[in-house]
Amino acid sequence: MTNETHPTAPTSNRGWTVTFAGLGINLALGILYTWSMFKGAIEKEFGWKGSQLNDPYALCCLVFALAMIFAGRCQDKFGPRLTASIGGLLVGAGFLLCSTTNSYGIWLLGFGVLAGIGIGFGYSSATPPALKWFPPSKTGLIAGLVVAGFGLAPVYLAPTSQYLLGAFQVEKSMLILGIAFVIIVCGLAQMLVNPPAGYVAGAKPAAGSTPKPAAVNVTPGEIIRSPLFYLLWVIYFIGAGAGLMVIGSISGMAKKSMGELAFVAVAVMAIGNAGGRILAGTLSDKIGRRWTLCLVLGIQAVLMFAAIPVTASKETLPVVIVLLAALIGANYGANLALFPAYTKDLWGLKSFGMNYGTLFTAWGAGGLVLPRIQQMLTAKSGGSYQSSFITAGVLLLLGVALTFLIKPPQAKPQAQT
């Protein structure tokens, strides 16, 4: 149990305060999505080649996902404030370590391991307290708002990183960012509080809203024995991994037609990424998680096939690249709102942190495996992204088919009185 409650505080605004504090924490932790901005500077200044340029990012994604399990346990047991503060300190420590050297091994430790663990601790503590302040009919909206910060981060971090790299180069830029993130994340962490004991959120769900499950105290040990968990895990792996295949390389794709303005595509993709989380979360409250997820994966598959001629041509108009980036970002981001909402619907809030952390390993596996496949396919095809987009599109169509196997949660019949 945690003591991080304020029973005497007005509850009407407290939930929104917690929600936007979580969003702010994710705005800082979303530095992960700007790795494509750092790659060019690292290659130029450090002389790294090939897979070295992606390994810290890939390791960070994997560690982030694995850390979510332990961070979720910490959040469930000790509360969001402490968990997020630990996250801020670890991300700062990782960046500060990177600021001291150009060593590949130290960057794997600093950015890949320390920052990865820190992002996991910060991210895992942002959503659970916010969801606890609101009724089930707003689960998708609130989850979408909180995680939107992570997706929106490159809107300001892409130009900020470009400025810092130009003015101070890589190592000093990491120092500045590390100090800033400690201050921001640890400061906002103090605003993350759970509702007081006995607090009941909101009113009854609106008519036609998503059916809510009866399971409220399902443990991680129980969910991993459920076939539904593995079905969701595979779909999450596909949806997240396919999006990360593109996000990690969008800057390189955009440079073919946009040159030095490629960061604009990164920033616009981030806007789509954040907007997709809010839109999908809200839509899923209205039409259900499964139909929203099916729609998201289907549109993403279409976009992957549409991207083949767009990226193959050197004469593609920049506005087309930017639009494609925004739409791919939106559909990728939708996954990050839908799966935490699914976790709450199916397994409740008591062990939400660890339950979602366990499911979130699918995001980490997708981020490790599919971008690496994309690298191999692109290298084998002489720099063409065609085979990568075909692979992603086929996988997404498989994901669409799998959504039809998801059975909506059924409410338990109420006892007669």
> Shortest CA distance to 371 belongs to which of 181, 206, 240, 180?
240
Surface-to-core class of residue 319, CB atoms within 10 Å of its CB (0-12 exposed, 13-18 middle, 19+ buried): exposed
pTM confidence score: 0.85
Residue 324 lies in a domain: yes
Query: What is the pLDDT, as a whole number, of residue 216?
Result: 62
C-alpha separations of 3 from 77, 198, 353 in Å: 10, 13, 17
> Shortest CA distance to 92 belongs to which of 67, 65, 69, 121?
121
18: which residues sit within 8 A by CB, 6+ positions away? 129, 130, 133, 191, 192, 193
Query: What is the pLDDT, as a whole number, of residue 202?
Result: 65
C-alpha separations of 401 from 46, 239, 293, 363, 388 in Å: 45, 12, 11, 19, 20
- Could you tell me the mean pLDDT of each successive run of 10 residues in the chain, 417 residues long? 46 86 95 81 90 86 92 94 97 96 96 96 96 93 95 86 92 95 96 88 52 64 93 96 76 64 74 93 95 96 87 73 85 95 92 94 88 82 81 94 82 43
Query: What is the pLDDT, as a whole number, of residue 171?
Result: 94
Residue 388 lies in a domain: yes
Query: What is the pLDDT, as a whole number, of residue 5?
Result: 47
- In the 8-state DSSP scheme, what is residue 194? B
Angle subtended at Cα 279 by Cα 391 and Cα 190, rounded to the nearest 5 degrees: 105
> Shortest CA distance to 25 belongs to which of 74, 83, 68, 71?
83
Residue 222 lies in a domain: yes
Query: What is the pLDDT, as a whole number, of residue 328?
Result: 87
> Shortest CA distance to 107 belongs to which of 153, 159, 158, 41?
41
> Shortest CA distance to 181 belongs to which of 115, 88, 96?
88
* Residue 266 and residue 251 in contact, taking contact as beta carbons nearer than 8 Å: yes
Dihedral sign for Cα atoms in the order 205, 206, 207, 208: negative
Residue 417 lies in a domain: no
Count of domains observed in the chain: 1
Dist. CA 272–CA 160, nearest whole Å: 19
Task: Please give the residue range of the domain that contains residue 141.
Answer: 15-195+214-403
Residue 190 lies in a domain: yes
Residue 398 lies in a domain: yes
* Residue 135 and residue 201 in contact, taking contact as beta carbons nearer than 8 Å: yes
SS3 416: coil
* Residue 120 and residue 64 in contact, taking contact as beta carbons nearer than 8 Å: yes
Residue 66 lies in a domain: yes
CATH number at residue 291: 1.20.1250.20
Query: What is the pLDDT, as a whole number, of residue 33?
Result: 74
Residue 348 lies in a domain: yes
